[in-house]
Amino acid sequence: MQIRKSFRFEAAHVLPSHPGKCARMHGHSYRLDVTISGPLHKDGPARGMVEDFDALEALVRAEAIDTLDHRTLNDVTENPTAEEIVLWIWQHLEPALPGLDELVLWETPDACAVIRRGDIATLSSRA
Ligand SMILES: [Zn+2]
């Protein structure tokens, strides 16, 4: 089964290679949807759950949101497109969250980048 939790953060960025307005410093109210999958816990405090939402929230905040929120994203990655940021988030979450299945990073209410578990191998082979 999958569970999904959404997060919000505010950040600024500049896209240095962009020919248009994105080359100017500006900000977005980002939304991040985190999906994990796995079996339901059979006992313990997370019985009947894939994961406790509170535990998932604490982990995502500690590993990603706390670093990105109210940050100039160029300090985190040199060319912070939605695609590059969602990849950075995947690389920071996945070691701590083995059930990570999909991340969706909304840069605006109608534009997002999506990364899924199966995408990682193909991404690293691109020049
Ligand atoms: Zn932008």
The whole-angstrom separation of Cα 116 and Cα 29 is 22
Q: 42: CA distance to ligand 1 center in Å?
A: 44
Per-residue confidence at 125, pLDDT binned at 50, 70, 90?
low
The whole-angstrom separation of Cα 58 and Cα 43 is 21
Mean pLDDT for 3-31 is 97
62-114 pLDDT, tens digit each: 999 999 999 999 999 999 999 999 999 999 999 999 899 999 999 999 999 99
Percent of the residues in the chain that have a pLDDT greater than 90, as a whole number: 91
Q: Could you give the residue numbers annotated as active site? A: 22, 70, 107
CATH number of 99's domain: 3.30.479.10
Q: How many domains are contained in the chain? A: 1
Q: 106: CA distance to ligand 1 center in Å?
A: 11
User: pTM of the entire structure?
Assistant: 0.93
Q: In the prediction, which pLDDT does 92 show?
A: 96
Q: In the prediction, which pLDDT does 98 show?
A: 86
Q: 80: CA distance to ligand 1 center in Å?
A: 8
Query: 110 is written with which tokens?
Result: 């109608």
Across 14-98, the runs of DSSP E, i.e. the strands, are 26-37, 71-72
Q: In the prediction, which pLDDT does 122 show?
A: 79
Look up the domain containing 113 and give its range. Answer: 2-16+25-123
